[in-house]
Amino acid sequence: MAAGTIMTAINEHSAGVVPYRIGAEGTPEYLVLHSALVRNPRAKWEFPKGAMEPGETSKQTAAREFEEETGIRDYSFLEGFEKSLTYTYIRKNVKVVKTVVYYVAHVNNDSLIARSNEHVEDGDGLWYQWGTFERIRKLLYHAKIRNLFGEADQWIRGRSACETHEKGVV
């Protein structure tokens, strides 16, 4: 691109899910997917997300994308967590400013998990992974999503601690 050329910028809006279940140890395990669409090989692991369609709310988009990308239908959103992050990238000489709204979803049953064409196996033959906060955080490349994930994990753990305390279990 020549010096002084003004690059066109467009805004995109997406929504996604930080899915979790309670593992055998009684602590949260998180689900990430291995993307076929991300060009940066270090940034392939991500939470399910996708572009908003006309007339959808961000939560409707998050639900649709989660179901399309995983086949999981037995889950529920947890009210109270809605966080956005914005990042910029270049696509065909066009600056894209993308904002993604994330929600937390508790997965009740993942026995019917199914891969979409947006995901491929990694070198170890995995297209998805469930893992602890520490494990998944290492798979996430970008600082903004790692920070948002940290907020989600703290929120879930704080919520779980309050629920346990309210039930009289200490």
Query: Sorting pLDDT into bands at 50, 70 and 90, what band is 38?
Result: low
Residue 124 has pLDDT above 70, yes or no: yes
Residue 166: the pLDDT is 39
Residue 164: the pLDDT is 39
Inside any domain, residue 100: yes
Residue 117: the pLDDT is 83
Residue 162: the pLDDT is 58
Residue 39: the pLDDT is 64
User: How large is the greatest C-alpha to C-alpha distance in the chain, in angstroms?
Assistant: 67
Residue 8: the pLDDT is 80
The CATH number of residue 160's host domain is 3.90.79.10
Inside any domain, residue 147: yes
Domain that holds residue 51: 9-166
Inside any domain, residue 120: yes
Residue 115: the pLDDT is 87
Residue 5: the pLDDT is 61
Most confident range (mean pLDDT) of 36-40, 103-107, 159-163 is: 103-107
Query: Sorting pLDDT into bands at 50, 70 and 90, what band is 4?
Result: low
Most confident range (mean pLDDT) of 34-43, 51-60, 116-125 is: 51-60
C-alpha distances in Å from residue 154, one per residue of 88, 104, 107, 151? 27, 12, 18, 5
Q: How many domains does the chain have?
A: 1
C-alpha distances in Å from residue 85, one per residue of 118, 125, 134? 22, 30, 21
Q: Please, what is the average pLDDT of the chain?
A: 87
Inside any domain, residue 29: yes
Inside any domain, residue 77: yes
Q: Are the C-beta atoms of residues 38 and 122 closer than 8 Å to each other?
A: no
Rounded CA gap, 101 and 104, in Å? 10
Inside any domain, residue 4: no
Inside any domain, residue 126: yes
Inside any domain, residue 148: yes
